[in-house]
Amino acid sequence: MTADAFVGKAVPPEDTVRKVTGTALYTYDWEVPGTLYAKLVTSTVPHAKIVRISLESAKAVPGVVAVLTGKDMPFRVGMYAGDRDLLAVEKVRWAGHPVALVVAETLEAGERASELVDVEYETLPAVFDPVKAMEADAPLLHERMEEYKHAPVFYPVPGTNIANRFRLVHGDVEKGFGQADELVEEEFRISHVSHAYLETQNVVAQAYRDGTYEIWTSAQSPFVVRQIISESLNIPYNKITIRVPFVGGGFGGKAGLQWEALAAMASKAVGYRPVKLVLSRKENFSSGASREGVVANVKAGFTKDGKCVAYKVRFVLDAGAYADYTVNVSRAMGYSAEGVYEVPNVQCESLAVYTNKVPTTAMRGFGYSESNWVLEQVFERAAKKLGMDSAKIRRVNLLRPGESHTATGEKVREDVGDPRKVLQTVLEGIDWDGKVERPSEPWKVRARGFALCVKGPSQPPNASSSAILKFNEDSTIDLVLGTGNFGQGTATAISQMVADQFGVAVEKVRVDPVRDTGKSAYTWQTVGSRGLFTDGVATLRACEDAKGQILDLASQVMRLPKSELEVAEGAVKAKGRPWLSIPLRELVFGYVYPNGNTVGGPVIGRGQYTSSLNTYLDPQTGQGVPTIFHTFGGTAVDIELDLVTGAIEVKKAVQVFDVGKAINPLLLKMQLDGGFIMGMSIALFEKIKFDEQGWVMNPNFTSYYLARMKDVPKDFVARYVETPQFDGPLGARGIGELSMISVASAISNAVFRSTGVKLNNLPMSPEEVWAAISSQKPELLAKAMESYGRVETAVKARQ
């Protein structure tokens, strides 16, 4: 094998066969002898004191072992904001809040008993709008917020519903407005959406009498699940083992603690028997967490030459009843406010606010999608006001690597990427200056639009990763990683790098599909598109460590200086004299001389990664270095808008990202195509609907519409730019989340460019779009209806 036999090649994901043959094992498949089955009992009201919980009838159901309430486990848990109880204590905070847990010999017995738990409530005033929740007389969801544990970079406001307030101040925004020739002022609203992973949240937990716990769970980040349980329940880390087998999707919704602590405490309470809890799809919608809703108010100032001289925005996040990860989303949304542009004067306030709705958490994009939706439309509308081409106004404002500063004060590194090349590649992919095709009907409009984006991992400065590389007797390699692998293909890409490091076939490198906190190498979390970068660097360092051991031994055996040897093609070879070589299999478990004397032993490489220049952000100004890399990208679309119905159909999609180095072009294309479809689905269709009491009204995939095959564009263009980052793994940067960030903005910009209709609310459903056309451009709608009427009359005449 040559040194670059696999990096840069299209290698299929290593878990493909198991998944397509149905042999991959998920937590749902896990069965332990003696397992009991748990069922949630949830609140029917959005905000109320718990007066009484009657359990007698439920306990009388045959097969019921126990019915537990918040009094049995009065813990508060969380990573960033310890605001969540395992079961409701004293009061409920949303319709769907778990108030009791039935544990039974069979799921059927648990379900029957759950319907017999009787809860008496004393209703409290509720608040469902995040802006109203900040008013002085709004009902409080968390009266004792000051008692909660918060990570030091978050700033709740006790006595209010504000779970976190982030401020970003760069320059003098009012002075900037005074220099502006044109102003853009808008309000945008974004609905709650579901992560819509196929495998619902589920867990199997076993407590033991020696104080240890084993937990199997469908989670993204086993080490952080262990951390939260340990810190919240005061259990030593080494007493907790978290195991994560195959995961049926996460998208951020399984990033932190779910029901693991609840199941573990239930196992202990029922006499140390294993407990299995599987949420139904309805429960996943109404009791699990979603992505937050957002209200954004923005004002931007531009000079005649297109320069953005001032950008002021306030994000109000509808965080729901609990906001553990959403406080960090509000932070990321705030510090990413100015996107890919250098703006001299920026002011942002980003607030995560409690309401009596379902809790919220991280989701793919982690706040960047929401801030991008606002920013990119502002730039598009400024271009129209100034009579400037959409591409030109971007070029005027784009960050300049090695010269520009972000709004957090970070000087952009020289090898950060090439945003101008990304823009140019996007324009070429959509044929920006070419003729737009004619619409299929006279009442329809064909249009093009694009948007740019940037993202980096939102992680603390001390977030770290590690990797362990172990050789087997036949010189095959076990690569021990902690980063999760549920669709991204990270393990495959890193395996390709390892194969090339030792000149072996990629099939000789294996990553165990199960992540186990007792056996896997540590990694902080599988979030933020960080895995390839952080765990990739750690792996390459583990390779160097292993190669150093191998070369030391080979130098002794071959009687050549270490500097004259290299590892290549599955062997150690003398540089310039490759016929002098020893196969790796004769070295990696020690070298045996002809007489039986042995030197060396099993080779185990280890490596780690921790960022060196990240900082905390200033609490008053947001100044600092928040992330380890920035990946630039862009999306362009060719759409057809039906003016009569408001329906938008995407005909062509173009995705371009500067990935540093394309380790695996096949996986990259899969991410770009899949991310576009997810972003398009959220942009056009997805919305969690609430009734007047905060109940989720569409808790299934029938009424919560996801994009179907008929909605997917027939023409996908996926391209990448390679500007290597010197401290990345072979120059690579992460891409997984970014591929959906600018999709909604590109679609809305296409509509605005062609019709002048502003779409300020997500999703851009037919109803929403039709209402916007009707109110903003009634003459456009009238003309379309006239065209439609003529065609309909002609059709009837032919009949």
CA distances from 484 to 53, 70, 73 (A): 40, 32, 30
State pLDDT tens for residues 118-170: 999 999 999 999 999 999 999 999 999 999 999 999 999 999 999 999 999 99
Q: Please name the residues in contact with 359: beta carbons below 8 A apart, sequence gap of 6 or more.
A: 84, 94, 288, 289, 290, 319, 320, 321, 322, 323, 324
For residue 159, give the nearest of 148, 144, 174 by alpha carbon: 144
CA 297, chain centre distance (Å): 24
Structure tokens given for 343: 């703006």
4 — pLDDT class (breaks 50, 70, 90): low
pTM, full prediction: 0.97
How many Å apart are CA 156 and CA 354, to the nearest integer?
11
Structure tokens given for 121: 């409530």
Q: Locate tokens 């395992």: which residue?
A: 86
1 — pLDDT class (breaks 50, 70, 90): low
State pLDDT tens for residues 177-219: 999 999 999 999 999 999 999 999 999 999 999 999 999 999 9
Element at 424 (helix H, strand E): helix 419-430
Instruction: Work out the average pLDDT over 310-316.
Output: 98
How many Å apart are CA 46 and CA 693, to the nearest integer?
6
Whether the predicted pLDDT of 89 surpasses 90: yes
List 156's β-bridge partners, or say none: none
User: Can you list the alpha helix ranges (DSSP code H) found in 298-418?
Assistant: 326-335, 368-386, 390-397
- Tell me what pLDDT residue 350 has: 98
Whether the predicted pLDDT of 3 surpasses 60: no
CA distances from 682 to 698, 705, 707, 718 (A): 15, 9, 8, 20
Q: Is 94 in contact with 133 (CB distance < 8 Å)?
A: no
Structure tokens given for 696: 């989720």
State pLDDT tens for residues 713-747: 999 999 999 999 999 999 999 999 999 999 999 99
Q: Do domains 16-23+466-610 and 293-459+615-782 have the same CATH topology?
A: yes
763 upstream amide cis, omega within 30 of 0:
yes
Domain boundaries 16-23+466-610, CATH class? alpha beta
Structure tokens given for 136: 């002085």
Amino acid making up residue 768: E
779 — pLDDT class (breaks 50, 70, 90): very high
Average pLDDT in the chain: 97
Q: Is 352 in contact with 384 (CB distance < 8 Å)?
A: no
Whether the predicted pLDDT of 590 surpasses 70: yes
Q: Locate tokens 């300049």: which residue?
A: 400
Instruction: Work out the average pLDDT over 549-569.
Output: 97
Give per-residue burial for 635-669: e unless 16+ CB within 10 Å, then b: bbbbbbbbbbebbbbbbbbbbbbbbbbbbbeebbb
Q: Please name the residues in contact with 416: beta carbons below 8 A apart, sequence gap of 6 or more.
A: 399, 401, 629, 630, 632, 723, 725
State pLDDT tens for residues 391-403: 999 999 999 999 9
State pLDDT tens for residues 681-702: 999 999 999 999 999 999 999 9
Domain boundaries, the chain: 16-23+466-610, 31-124+201-278, 293-459+615-782
Structure tokens given for 489: 């293909």
Homologous superfamily of the 31-124+201-278 domain (CATH): Aldehyde oxidase/xanthine dehydrogenase, a/b hammerhead (3.90.1170.50)
- Tell me what pLDDT residue 794 has: 72
- Tell me what pLDDT residue 748 has: 98
Element at 170 (helix H, strand E): strand 162-170
Instruction: Work out the average pLDDT over 782-790.
Output: 90
CATH number of 293-459+615-782: 3.30.365.10
State pLDDT tens for residues 479-519: 999 999 898 999 999 999 999 999 999 999 999 999 999 99
For residue 393, give the nearest of 378, 405, 407, 403 by alpha carbon: 378
Whether the predicted pLDDT of 2 surpasses 70: no
Instruction: Work out the average pLDDT over 399-427.
Output: 98
